[in-house]
Structures are given as C-alpha cells and as structure tokens.
Amino acid sequence: MEYTELADYPIPSGRITEWIPSIDAESYAVDPRPLSPNHRAHLDFFSRTDVHERLGAWIGTAFTLRGAFDHTLFAQTLEYWIARHDAFRTTVTEGRDHGFARLTAPADAVTIEVLASADTNGAGTYRYIEDVFARRISALTQPHMMAVTVESDDDGVIVVVGADHSVMDAYTQLLLIAELREIYSALSAGRIPALPPCGSYVEHCAAEHYAAAALVNEHPAIAEWESFWRTQSGALEMPAFPMPVRPAQATDTGPGHQASLSLWLLSAESTEAFAAACKRHGVSASTGAFSALAIAIHRLTAGADLRFVMPLHTRTTPESQAAAGWYVGLAPVEVNLDGVGTFVESLSRVDKSVRRNAGLAQHPYPTIAAAAGMADAPKFAISFVDTRYLPGAKEWGERDRALRCRVDNSDEVYLWVNRTLEGLNISLRFPNNEIAADSLHRLIAEFSDILRVVSRDGDVAVSLPPAHLSNDQTPSGSPQLENGVVENL
C-alpha cells in the first residue's frame, strides 16, 4: 500500500463513470450538533480562498473491485455505505454572523447520480478524474464525496473514491477498501454485509467542539505549543524543515505544485529485522523510524534538533474505530541528540520526546493556534502509520492505493512513513525546486542507509559522516530492490 498523488497512480485506459451522491434539499434538517474546530477552520479557509477551484482539496483511495461489474449493484453499494456513515450525509449552510450551521440528512435520503463518459486513455483518464474531483468535491457544499470507476478490458474495474478532508482521514481512506468490497459482495449474494459497528462522526465533532471550550489561555496544552513555537528572540514561529528548501534568489512565479514521491525503503523481512532491533530495547518500530530520521538530520545539519509536527488519530473509543470522518489531532515533537553516540542510545530519548506531547493531539489544534495567535500552518510534519492490521490489509494488491491531490506551497515538507505488510515505505511532498530536491534527496538517502544498517547490524553510530551517493546508486523501486540508495528525488 502506497500513498501518492493521483498522477503517480497507474490508471488504465477504459470507460469512465461518475457516481455522485445526491440528497434533495428538503431532506436536510438543521442539526444542532456543532462542527468540530478542525471542520470549522477548514471551512473558514476555503470560504476565503480559490485554491479549491484550481486544485481541489480532496484525499481518496483507488482500488480494484473483483468480479463482474454491475452498475446497479455498485450504486446500491455506495448508498449502503453512505447510509452507514453520517460523515457523508452532513453538510453546512451559512449561519448567523457569517458562520456555519450543520445540516444532516437521514440514512434513506441518499441516491446516486450516475454519469457515463466516453472511453479515455491512461493520461486522459487521470486528467478527467483530477478535473472532476476538483470541480465537484467541495468543503462548502455537497457532494463532499464521490466515486469514479474505470472499466478496462485488461484490468477489470478500478474504483477511485475522492472526498473533502472534512469527512475523510487516512484511516477512512484505508478502511473503505474492505468496506466497499464487502458491501458489494454481500449485496451481490443477497446477504447482510458483515461489517463492524461504527459510531457517529457528527457526535465526535460535537464532543471536540465542547472539549475546545476548556482551552483557555492558561491551559497547559496552549503553553506546551507556545514553548514549541517560541524562538530565542521570544517570538512564536512555526518550525520549518531544517535543510534548505528555497532558491537563493526569490521568484515571483508563485509557490507552484509541490513535488511528490513514494519510495520503498525496506523489504518486509528487513522491516521485521529493524522492528526486532527496536523491540530489544523496549520501543516500537515507529520510535526507531523517528530515531533514524533524527540521526539523519543530525548528520546533515551539523547537529540540528529534529522539530516537527506529528499528526495522530483521535479514534479513542470503540465506536470510532470503523467510522468515516476526520479524526486527527496534532502534537509537537522536539528531539535533541546532543551527547547520544549510537542509534540504540537514541531510542529511549526519542521515545520520551515523542510520547511527551502525544496527548496534546486530543486537544483541538485550531483552537490552540487561535488562542496563541499562530496563523501559520505546520511547515514540517512527520507521520508514522502501521497498516498491517487494518481490515482487508492482507487482500490489498498493487492497484490498491491511498491518494492525495496536488498541493501548491513553497515551504512545506510533509513525510509519511508507512509500515505495511510489504515493508517500509515513505511518501513525501516538498517544494518543487532544485534546492529542496537536493535536500530531500540527501535526507532520504541518509535515512534509508541508517534503516538498512540497523536492520542488518542492530545499531549504528550517530556521528558517522553522511553517506555519499554515487551515480550508479539507484532508488528502491520495490521492496526487493532495497539495496539501492534513493536517487530519484
């Protein structure tokens, strides 16, 4: 399972069909349950920007649907799925004082509008889907989610689901594959889909809203974030990626599309060896990955601390585990390796650094940022996701993938480290210029070298000189090619 832009997904040629959820206006009722701070901040942003019209702000999933494809059955599948998840049946309307009020429709109010298109080739299919998602999926109006299918004689049926971030997070992206496959199969067989119970995302939003009310200026969560942002001069500043990402000479061409990559760093066997090396010292593979990144940054920047924002899920109740929605909080992390000699020695310090503020993710970040006067979005974020035990993970194939839309930005660097049944993968987006490409090239090469040495030897020195790349070293295009050094940044 990889996490890439749609442009990097191998879409086949074939017949395109759009599947658009439709709810009559009279079916909506005013819902007194408030929006979450995440949702409200998201709406505030898109109500004052045109980026949605240009690029969209969707995330999604592509996957194969097995067996003969029945259009009527697939429409029924989507209706069943949307009825199950209230995240897809709720929307907003402009309320008093230019705010937003929630509207929610009942489970039986959804129908699927089906729009067939002509056959396209691979590149044409990609452009078609990107354009459709950018035009149709909105944070402000329904539909907030839709699907496109591509029927190919050679590749069967590819389903691409896209949704606004306000109703979908990374776990929703991954869980929907097994859910939609099971619903389709069950309806085809005339049985009830075997799905776990799921809670209400709308209820979760209300709970987050009321939790935010406790975040007054004296709250410890605000103080922790302010400490993370505070510079030596006393100003509050969002930490940036600690290596150069901007050209020396400023340009007036705007931020442009960010570069996007997905790379396999370790095979399944080597990932198990790396995890075992971490476990021998009482920590998880995620702590080991953060340690390896901290060492790579330390080597490449003459000892700089690793300071980043870490997204964490907020699915803390049993009923939230299978629910669709945006269950994400943020935590600040700062790792200092002064005096640490080896990877093994770094583990306990990194583990404490990551755990220290992990609980802050349960406090709505937009409320904290507003209270502190922090207007900047996170500039450097690292996420670790272990997908091995998610429903359906054993059935994922090469054509099943989590997707994100393109982003325009000139200084953000986001890394997603993904542990899968296939091994260890990293996905990243960063400014699309030679300076940033060189910095990320060197970081990922150093990071992957540390991972490989630890998986082989169990430890590595912190202060080794950075690995030098030669022209004949190649990237690991698959888990089986892990001995190649990442080269195509």
| C-alpha triplet 461, 465, 466: angle, nearest 5° | 105
Same domain, 285 and 193: no
Are 164 and 137 found together in one domain?
yes
Q: What is the pLDDT of residue 97?
A: 57
Q: Are residues 185 and 245 in the same domain?
A: no
One domain, residues 175 and 280: no
Nearest-angstrom CA–CA distance, 476 and 198: 38
Verdict on whether the full-model pTM lies above 0.75:
yes
286 and 187 in a single domain? The answer is no
Measured between alpha carbons, how far is 457 from 265 in angstroms, rounded to an integer?
16
Domain CATH code at residue 87: 3.30.559.10
pLDDT score for 98 = 61
Residue 213: inside a domain: no
Q: Say yes or no: 253 and 131 in one domain.
A: no
Residue that terminates a domain, selected from 207, 239, 264: 207
pLDDT at residue 370, rounded to an integer: 96
Q: Which residues does the chain have with pLDDT short of 70?
A: 50-55, 96-98, 249-255, 465-489
Residue at which a domain ends, from 207, 237, 272: 207
Of all residues in the chain, the percent with pLDDT exceeding 70 is 91
Please say whether the beta carbons of 184 and 400 come within 8 A. no
Give domain status of residue 362, yes or no: yes
pLDDT at 284: 98
Please check whether residue 429 is in contact with residue 85, taking contact to mean a CB–CB distance below 8 angstroms.
no
Contact 90, 31 (CB under 8 A): yes
**Ramachandran sector of residue 234 (left: φ over 0; alpha: ψ -120 to 50; beta: rest):** left
Tell me, yes or no, whether 56 lies in a domain. Answer: yes
Domain co-membership, 411 together with 314: yes
Residues 155 and 295 in one domain: no
User: Does 488 map to a domain?
Assistant: no
Confidence (pLDDT) at 214:
87
Helix axes 343-356, 285-300, angle to 10 degrees: 110
250 and 137, same structural domain?
Answer: no
> Residue 50: its pLDDT value, please?
64
Domain count, the chain: 2
Q: What is the pLDDT of residue 465?
A: 61
For residue 94, the SS3 value is strand
Transcribe 206-221 into DSSP letters.
HHHHHHHTT--TT-HH
Q: Are 318 and 421 found together in one domain?
A: yes
Tokens of 69: 């494809």
Tell me what pLDDT residue 251 has.
63
Beta bridge partners of 6: none
State which residues form the domain around 447: 218-481
User: Domain for residue 489, yes or no?
Assistant: no
Judge if 106 and 230 occupy the same domain. Answer: no
